[in-house]
Amino acid sequence: MPTDFHHDIPKDAKIYIAGHSGLAGSAIWRAFEAEGYRNLVGRRSAELDLMDRAATYDFLSQERPDYLIAAAAKVGGIYGNAAANADFLSDNLRIQLNLLDGAREFGVTRAVFLGSSCIYPKFAPQPIREDSLMTGPLEPSNFGYAIAKIAGVYHVQALREQYGCSFVSAMPTNLYGPGDNFALPGAHAFPMLLRRLHDAKVAGDEEFVVYGTGTTMREFLHADDLGRAVLTLLRRYDGPEPVNVGFGEDIVINDLVALMAKVVGYEGRIGHDLSKIDGTPRKLMDSGRIRSLGWEPRIGLAEGVTSTYEWFLANQETFRR
């Protein structure tokens, strides 16, 4: 892959981060601020409905951002996705169609579309390379979200081919960190486990029940590492292929639970509810493409679990439930 592309982002550039209040978007916002960018634009969903094409176009025509980060999405955990695949497909398609078409219509210089590791086949060879896309069947429990994100990847490629747009796609692995959604039910695996372990400790439960066998393996990346990755892609990458953004190591869910229990201080026994689905057996991504551009993760999992739990404790009155 060519690595000689270089693009300087002017410090006064107007940068619109769609989904800026979410886990990924807030981390991207922090990454830009840390590097001295102050002309950042964001709107909460109550202020701007990105599923409304006219409203999205009105906003973009007024703001005229130079850069756009498409981090807005309808997201949920395995059980939320499985129960509402139609909603996850429809809502995400509308959000990304409006953002990407609008970015082209109103002259955005560069854009980054955020997808997900779930775009890859359920049984893709590990670690998963970008060229595994569309080579096998998806995990059935979240096919709606996955298909929407796959469509986004091809939308970016089509806009590049037809209109010459300098847009790229990033596929982050499972994210965690400050600003995550700890709502029960419906949260992703990481915040759900952390929240449930905390609740079990507070309640004095003698047993904590893991949903499924706990033998699946997952890769987790701190959201702040993703924030830096987005900056790297804007500066160093301009190609049609999606770019994986992962930590480079995965962990068995049972081992993650043990790590979290130690951080939380839960000392009860660990059980399993085998009636619950496990999902994809393993999902470790090959992130060699972005590492070749000079990026690498900085926040280890033990450090990340500790800091995320500290954020959870400090924000229990305000975090999304």
Query: Has 80 been labeled as part of a binding site?
Result: no
Query: Has 20 been labeled as part of a binding site?
Result: yes
Q: What is the largest CA-CA distance in the chain?
A: 60
**266 included as an active-site residue:** no
Query: Has 188 been labeled as part of a binding site?
Result: yes
Between CA 72 and CA 289 the distance in angstroms is 24
Query: Has 234 been labeled as part of a binding site?
Result: no
Between CA 276 and CA 315 the distance in angstroms is 30
Task: Give the DSSP per-residue string, 202-267.
Answer: HHT-SEEEEES-S--EEEEEEHHHHHHHHHHHHHH---SS-EEE--S-EEEHHHHHHHHHHHHT--
Query: Has 215 been labeled as part of a binding site?
Result: no
Query: Has 100 been labeled as part of a binding site?
Result: no
Query: Has 196 been labeled as part of a binding site?
Result: yes
- Beta-bridge partners for 175: 221
Query: Has 38 been labeled as part of a binding site?
Result: no
Query: Has 14 been labeled as part of a binding site?
Result: no
Catalytic-role residue among 79, 145, 176, 309: 145
Between CA 52 and CA 220 the distance in angstroms is 32
Query: Has 268 been labeled as part of a binding site?
Result: no
- Binding-site members are 19-25, 114-117, 149, 172-175, 188, 196, 218, 278
- Binding-site members for substrate are 196, 218, 278
> Which residues carry out catalysis?
145
- Binding-site members for NADP(+) are 19-25, 114-117, 149, 172-175, 188
